[in-house]
Amino acid sequence: MSKEPIEMVKETIKNYADSQSRLESEIVGLRNKIEKAEKEVSQVKNIKQSFESALKYLEEANGKEA
């Protein structure tokens, strides 16, 4: 039997292993981006709540002046 089919199979296995490694790295990168985005969303929510509280306070203060 020729070595050529064996080498082709070995090369195919290597290519799939390389693809798997690349995809796993991409997954890690995407998870990190998701984690960062979730933190940013949380910060934005907190800032929004602060502004909503300030608005409520200003509206109440404005109502007391009238």
Instruction: Give the HSE-up count for residue 49: Cα atoms under 13 Å, Cβ half-sphere.
Output: 6
SS3 at position 15: helix
pLDDT value of residue 1 = 64
Phi, psi of 2 (to 5 degrees): -70, 150
% pLDDT > 90, the chain: 88
pLDDT band for position 25 (cuts 50, 70, 90): very high
Q: Which one is predicted more confidently, 66 or 23?
A: 23
The ranges assigned to domains in the chain are 32-65
Q: Which one is predicted more confidently, 64 or 17?
A: 17
Q: Is the pLDDT of residue 66 over 60?
A: no
